[in-house]
Amino acid sequence: MRDITTEVFEAVLFDNDGTLVDSSAVVVRTWRAWADHYDVPYERFVGFHGVPSRGIVQMVAPHLDVDDATAHIDRLELEDQEGIVVLPGAIEAIAALDGRAAVVTSAGAELAARRLAAAGVTPPAVVVSADDIPRGKGKPDPEPYLAGARQLGVDPAKCLVVEDAPAGLKAGRAAGAATLAVTTTSSRDELEPLADLVVEDLAQVRFEVTDEGVRVHRA
């Protein structure tokens, strides 16, 4: 366990859905429609938050053509942006980091951009999406966060990963980063074994860029 309030980081890597924006209503609505379309029991959709859509399709419905079924859910999600809102502290967190931040999301690039825009969030210059990651290397694989660190030109071991889902926290840990969890979509009990610090949302912490790097303070 790392005490992130005493460390100095080179950058902060944020998940998007559930961390910066609340898209839960859209996610439930579109995946229910997808499940109804393919006659897949919705009860199978447990524990997949933070996993790319292709990976979810492969796990809940391995009998389907994965390309067609993934394209179907991607279309549904792109067409539905109703009810997406920014989560507390998200805008302030990105603004405070002054170029030392990236968004690392399991969504595709267009979907991520639409959801950030719908919530009124101006993303940092670096956004790593599922489109940038080889198939099979999405969260909980470390590659998304390793890619985020590479694009920023920083050491992943000197990054802080901010996540709301166990899959994303596992990816961050595997990349060697410190981890901060928010309890916006998962319980504290699920997150604590994988996070160096657990808070309610980003309004509970404050990021400060100093001459040495990024520091994290409890708000």
3-state secondary structure the chain: CCCCCCCCECEEEECCECCCEECHHHHHHHHHHHHHHHCCCHHHCCCCCCCCHHHHHHHHCCCCCHHHHHHHHHHHHHHCCCCCEECCCHHHHHHHHCCCEEEECCCCHHHHHHHHHHHCCCCCCEEECHHHCCCCCCCCCCHHHHHHHHHHCCCHHHEEEEECCHHHHHHHHHCCCEEEEECCCCCHHHHHHHCCEEECCHHHEEEEECCCCEEEEEC
Q: What is the pLDDT of residue 46?
A: 81
Q: What is the CATH number of the domain that holds 106?
A: 3.40.50.1000
Tokens of 106: 């399991």
Domain count, the chain: 2
In a domain, 1, yes or no: no
Same domain, 16 and 55: no
Tokens of 69: 């079924």
Section 171-178 average pLDDT: 98
In a domain, 3, yes or no: no
Cα 145–chain centre separation: 10
* Active-site entry in 3, 15, 74, 201: 15
Same domain, 108 and 182: yes
Structural domain harbouring 148 = 11-23+84-218
Q: Record the pTM.
A: 0.89
* Active-site entry in 17, 74, 164, 196: 17
Mean pLDDT of the chain: 95
Section 51-63 average pLDDT: 90
The pLDDT of residue 150 is above 80: yes
In a domain, 200, yes or no: yes
15 annotated active-site: yes
Strands 197-199 and 178-182: parallel
Residue pLDDT, tens place only, 192-201: 999 999 999 9
CB-CB neighbours of 166 under 10 Å: 21
Residue pLDDT, tens place only, 67-93: 999 999 999 999 998 999 999 999 999
Task: Give the confidence band of 20 by pLDDT, cuts at 50, 70, 90.
Answer: very high
How far, in Å, CA of 210 to CA of 219, rounded? 17
DSSP state of 9: B
Task: Give the confidence band of 176 by pLDDT, cuts at 50, 70, 90.
Answer: very high
Section 182-186 average pLDDT: 96
The pLDDT of residue 48 is above 90: no
Least confident of 46-50, 51-55, 106-110: 46-50
Q: What is the pLDDT of residue 49?
A: 72
How far, in Å, CA of 194 to CA of 67, rounded? 32
Section 2-18 average pLDDT: 97
Same domain, 41 and 132: no
In a domain, 65, yes or no: yes
In a domain, 2, yes or no: no
Residue pLDDT, tens place only, 92-148: 999 999 899 999 999 999 999 999 999 999 999 999 999 999 988 999 999 999 999
